[in-house]
A and B are shown apart, each in its own frame.
Chain A
Amino acid sequence: MRKFKEFVIEKLILLCGLASIFFVILIFLFLLKEGLALFKIESPLKFLFGKSWYPISEPPRLGILPLILGSLLVTAGAAVISVPIGVGCAVYIAEVAPLRIREVLKAGIELLAAIPSVVLGFIGMVTLVPLVKNMFHLPTGLTALSGSIMLAFMAMPTIVSIAEDALYSVPKTYKEGAFALGATHWQTIWRVMLPAASSGILAAVMLGIGRVIGETMAVMMITGNAAVIPRSILAPVRTLTATIAAEMGEAVVGSEHYFALFAIGIVLFVISFAINVTADLCLHKKQS
């Protein structure tokens, strides 16, 4: 009897072990189920490279190029800001900061990671948006730049914590060897530690960027949501994620618009999947 009970429990454990794989596949299948229906009506090329997104015009025009460019612009801006600052902060925490300050800094970074994105979006609206508006004398502060700055903050906790881990996992002997050869601490960091941790830092940057591309609420609240091909970083843009979040509420289940929003979901899923698998390979390379 006890044998039987344990048998059941162990099978249950195995089943739950497989749950993650099951859910990833389930998510992808349901996105495909709803999203692929679009391509019976619209060609995939026209969807990906169409220059206008007017989902409720008659007939609807469902080209997501403006949205892709909007996402790319905001993400590139966020990466330019967050990568140097994030990696710099990771180096400072891992190598330079005194032990007691290190704990405080790490708590601060964890705090940032915990703040809900809608709260960051709200704070961005009331502080950053007016600032950008006044600084560049714009008609509105709801711009790609505001979005980039806010998103940079959301990418930083990911970048800092993974880059920091990568730096910690560099064997101590590397550092001791460099010191023994008379290198200064900074020379050791620059010429030995950073190159040795490079694949982990690369993974950190990729995962940070993945976080930015997938971010929804803050970006919807502060980028202005204009679904046009962006002409400058000081213009309002709309991202892939914000389009889904803003429009799905009004899309009729089973309409072209509904299918198109799911097709955008497929695009996002594929991007995040590619980023995560590549980053995982980078981290794995480091370990072996």
Chain B
Amino acid sequence: MSHPHRTQNIAFFFLLLATLLIVVPVGLIVVIIVQKGLPAINGQFLLDIPRQGMRAGGIFPAIVGTVYLVTGAIIFALPIGLLAAIYLSEYSRENMLTRLIKLAIVNLAGVPSVVYGLFGLALFVVFFKFGASILSGSLTLGIMILPIIITASREALESVPSSFREVSLSLGASKWQTIRHIVLPNAIPGILTGTILGLGRAAGETAPILFTVAAFYLPRLPHSIFDQAMALPYHLYVISTQVPNVDEKTRYGTAFVLLALVLVMNIIAVVIRTKFRKKKKW
């Protein structure tokens, strides 16, 4: 006869092992980058332009470029994403069209990031003649993060109890007034979480900006939205693979700044979500 409990112990050991095989390397990655990247961080590194073919100086233009791109992406994606979420949560019925929209969102989320790059190149850079510019890059990133914003906002809207809507409607408010004054305010933390996660994703992606905006080496700040710009993720790619003899400290420092930027945004999102869940009384 087999020993069910011994089998169970062995099985649980392997499950724990699998979990550790994921979580321990993640911890290591963060620790390595913090340990080797943090010493590189100082005022000059953060606020100076790159010098000597990116072997010295700082990464300021890349930081600014990423901030511009992310801002542009969110200006484009947030209104569309939020209204799309309102449609799905408040107006749509269980029919073929809704099913198609949901399928489209899933597919949009699954399109490889480099394909977004191609699309941005074909539509914005070549067809609309925006050229490689902050505008083209922002729009490309904006479409890429649309599914994140729609999904998170929809969940937030749907978690507002239907009794809230019924009360408002029964008091004579119209459907839009109900959404605007009752549903939306109660869904703001969830929408904010989704928006910040979208920001983090847009800040970290490289492939969509490769051919739509990213400048290899541009030691100045962009002048307008039709200007090319450096960006942090592309800069990290460039100094780790394309430029020989870059100081290791500079590479780790850049990786640290990018990772810190993305993780801080994610942590803020998680904190908002947790606080909101605790406060929620319905």
Bound Cα distance from A277 to B106, whole angstroms: 8
Tell whether, in the assembled complex, residue B266 and residue A24 are in contact, meaning their CB atoms are under 8 Å apart.
Answer: no
B114 and A244 contacting across the interface, CB-CB below 8 Å: yes
B22 at the interface (CB under 8 A from A): yes
Q: Which of A17, A24, A186 contacts B83 (CB 8 A)?
A: A17
A10: chain B residues within 8 A (beta carbon): 91, 175-176
Cβ < 8 Å to B, chain A residues 141-166: 153, 156, 160
Q: How far is the CA of A105 from the CA of B27 in the complex (A)?
A: 11
Asked if A14 is at the interface (CB within 8 A of a chain B CB), the reply is yes
A91 in the interface (beta carbon within 8 A): yes
Other-chain contact of A108, B23, B33, B104, B258 (Cβ < 8 Å): B23
Do A27 and B111 touch across chains, with their CB atoms under 8 A apart?
Answer: yes
A16 cross-chain contacts in B, Cβ below 8 A: 79-81, 83-84, 86-87
Is B80's CB under 8 angstroms from A19's CB?
A: yes
Give per-residue flags for A82-103: 1 if the beta carbon is below 8 A from chain B beta carbons, else 0.
Answer: 0011111101110011000000
Which residues A199-248 have CB closer than 8 A to chain B?
A: 207, 210-211, 213-217, 221, 241, 244-245, 248
Q: Contact: B86 with A245, CB < 8 Å?
A: no
Closest Cβ neighbor of B233 among chain A residues: A118
B236 at the interface (CB under 8 A from A): yes
Query: Which residues of A have CB within 8 Å of B143?
Result: 23, 27
Q: Is the CB of B122 within 8 A of A20?
A: no
Chain B residues whose C-beta falls within 8 Å of the C-beta of A221 in the assembled complex = 237, 240-241
Partner of B8, one of A84, A186, A273: A186
- The answer to whether A111 and B30 have CB atoms under 8 Å apart is yes
B270 lies within 8 A of chain A by Cβ:
yes
> B207 contacts which chain A residues (CB < 8 A)?
216-217, 241, 245
8 Å CB interface, B2-52 against A: 4-5, 7-8, 11-12, 14-19, 21-23, 25-27, 29-30, 32-33
| CB-based contact A216/B122 at 8 Å | no
Judge if B161 is at the interface, Cβ distance under 8 Å. Answer: no
* Docked pose: A272 CA to B108 CA in angstroms: 10
Query: Are B262 and A31 in contact (CB-based, < 8 A)?
Result: no
* A119 close to B127 (CB less than 8 A): no
Task: Tell which of B115, B123, B176 touches A214, judged by Cβ atoms closer than 8 Å.
Answer: B115
Q: Determine if B230 is an interface residue (Cβ-Cβ < 8 Å).
A: no
User: In the complex, A87 Cα to B14 Cα: how many Å?
Assistant: 11
- Say yes or no for B146: interface residue by CB 8 A criterion: yes
**Count: A-B pairs, CB below 8 Å:** 263
Residues on B with C-beta less than 8 A from A275 are 110
Bound-state Cα–Cα, A97 to B92, Å: 39
Given known contacts A16-B83, A120-B29, A123-B29, A184 and B18 CB-to-CB distance under 8 angstroms: no
B259 touches A116 (CB 8 A): yes
State whether B12 touches A115 (Cβ < 8 A). Answer: no
Which residue from chain A places its CB closest to the CB of B5 in the assembled complex? A184
Q: Which residues of A contact B79 (CB under 8 A)?
A: 16
Contact B210 A249 (CB under 8 A): yes
Q: Which 4 A-B pairs have the closest CB atoms?
A: A214-B112, A116-B204, A17-B87, A88-B18
A interface residue numbers (CB < 8 A to B): 2, 6, 9-10, 12-21, 23-24, 26-27, 30-31, 33-34, 84-89, 91-93, 96-97, 105, 107-112, 114-123, 125, 127, 153, 156, 160, 184-187, 189-190, 207, 210-211, 213-217, 221, 241, 244-245, 248-249, 253, 261-262, 265, 268-269, 272-273, 275-277, 279-280
A-binding residues in B (CB < 8 A): 4-5, 7-8, 11-12, 14-19, 21-23, 25-27, 29-30, 32-33, 79-81, 83-84, 86-88, 90-92, 100-101, 103-119, 121-123, 126-127, 143, 146-147, 150, 174-176, 200, 203-207, 210-211, 233-234, 236-237, 240-241, 251, 255, 258-259, 262-263, 266, 270
